[in-house]
Amino acid sequence: MTDAPAPAIELVGISKRFGAVQANRDVSLSVAAGSIHGIVGENGAGKSTLMSILYGFYEADSGEIRIGGTPRAIRSSGDAIAAGIGMVHQHFMLVETLSVVENVVLGAEGGAFLKGGLANARAELARLSQDYGLVIDPDAIVGELSVGLQQRVEILKSLYRGADILILDEPTAVLTPPEADQLFVLLRALKRQGKTVILITHKLREIMDVTDAVSVMRRGEMVAHVRTSQTSPPELAEAMVGRRVLLRVEKEPRQRGAPVLEAVGISVTDARGLALLSEASLTLHAGEIVGIAGVAGNGQSELLDVLAGLTAPSRGVIRLNGQILNAADRKPARLRELGLMHIPEDRQKAGLVTAFTAAENAILGYQHEAAFGAGPFLSPRAIAAHAREAFAAYDVRPPDPALKTANFSGGNQQKIVLAREIERAPKVLLVGQPTRGVDIGAIEFIHRRLIALRDAGVAILLVSVELEEVMALSDRILCMCGGRITGERAAEATDERDLGLLMAGVTERAA
């Protein structure tokens, strides 16, 4: 009888504290070699901290790391790479102006002369592409690639450095559904080749579809380890949150009011003269949620940016409360005064200044209000008090107004933006990707807040790549393809197949 192979990874008694915050408390984890192992938990549960310890970004206060049964001291990412560990972060670490092959070799050039290193890298990329189906042009400029292809570059970087263990932190948070499906095909291919994959995600459907085992973290501790085949989404959600979680949206029939926001013939053309948005028209009524469904890159972002005042339309008219908005009225600050609030799709690029404290971000855009100071002088005490109240209401973790926003998890950063915009008593709320990178308990909370706003008479425009979310929250659904609105449906009178055809550009006229 042969001995069972050692686990690819063992974490034993890992603890880590940041000041007053106990991020990890006596955490142990065992990951079988050649498996796909999921780690789930609420925002701030300690998942990313644990993986950052494994990858050498942080050093544990106590505990031991074993790779293939052998204790290893991992004090830097270099130590982790030497141990055969690679990590793909939620926010990619690529130089967008460089090519694919240049990004892959960056930091592993192999000497002072790059020519030979690049030639070897091309050959290795060709082999990896063939082995794992990671087809990508090595000379493509990374900044010109889709998000899904950029993620492939990150995975190629790890494989090029010899990774046998691959950590993916919220890998589908920035992907479209087709890109996510392609990623899972790749992960299964990696598993067949004997690689070990750790998948951190909030999406329980993904856990059920692709993992062999799953571990659950809550408030810095490991609370469950189960075979995926022996659990269910409700069980995992309850383990994550510590209570039963409603996995469906419950709402009463809408009480639709008067038109509040109208857009007529809105078009956007880029610097090259290409149409990004073509003759888009919509009407948004008080007391309803209108969802926009479409594969990312089909005009939804441009429409949201125009309505939020971030982009000037090439053509078209926008009315708010019956009044045509001129160029001065379409500035974001003026729109906020008129009651139109915006939760941007990309919180880090458009919603936050991550170098600022959480308290400062909690008032961003509203810092001139009298409640936060007099004249040019802000009141740190008033700002901190406001932040503490907002963080308690939205369960932001840790509830520390003085902490730099960059040190919060992505989901808690999202809660800071949501609290800031939703609590301003909006008349119109533009929402982009409200639950991107957010845990199951927070998703339930956000959905309830949006429904409560709608029931209070707020007009809400929702953009989400999650078709299930659009269908669950919306009263009406507009589909977009190629910068055009291809059709409209009542949410209760459609299904995924019907919407999928409209999202593919098959309009009623074409049919």
- In the predicted model, what is the mean pLDDT of residues 101-117? 67
Total tally of structural domains belonging to the chain:
3
Same domain, 251 and 279: yes
199 plus 310 within the same structural domain: no
Per the domain annotation, does 2 fall within a domain? no
Digit-coded pLDDT (tens) for 179-198? 788 889 989 999 999 999 99
Measured between alpha carbons, how far is 134 from 137 in angstroms, rounded to an integer? Answer: 10
Q: What is the pLDDT of residues 193-246, one digit of tens each?
A: 999 999 998 788 889 999 999 999 998 999 999 999 999 998 998 888 887 766
Which of 218, 241, 264 terminates a domain? The answer is 241
CA distance 347 to 415: 10
Same domain (yes/no): 123, 204: yes
Angle at 471 between CA 466 and CA 476, to 5 degrees: 125
Supply the pLDDT for residue 112: 46
Q: Per residue in 421-443, pLDDT tens? A: 998 899 999 999 998 877 777 88
Full-model pTM: 0.71
Beta bridge partners of 341: 429
In tens, the pLDDT along 460-489 reads 999 998 888 999 999 999 999 989 999 999
DSSP per-residue letters across 177-224? HHHHHHHHHHHHHHHHTT-EEEEE-S-HHHHHHH-SEEEEEETTEEEE
Q: What are the CA-CA distances from residue 25 to residues 264, 399, 413 (Å)?
A: 55, 19, 23
The residue assigned the tokens 């240049």 is 102
Domain of 39: which CATH number? 3.40.50.300
Assigned token pair, 39 = 């780690």
The DSSP code for 252 is P
Sign of torsion over alpha carbons 396, 399, 400, 403 = negative
Q: What is the average pLDDT value for the chain, to the nearest integer?
A: 89
Sign of CA dihedral 150, 151, 152, 153: positive
**pLDDT band at residue 511 under the 50/70/90 scheme:** very low
Residue ranges making up the domain that contains 280: 247-339+426-511
- Please tell me whether residues 332 and 448 are part of one structural domain: yes
Higher confidence at residue 397 or residue 64? 64
Nearest partner of 410 among 148, 86, 172, 87, judged by Cα:
172
Residues 322 and 374 in one domain: no
Q: How many CA atoms lie within 13 A of 409 on its CB side?
A: 31
For residues 32 and 181, membership in a common domain is answered with yes
Q: Is residue 297 domain-shared with residue 380, that is, in the same domain?
A: no
Do 446 and 413 lie in one domain? The reply is: no
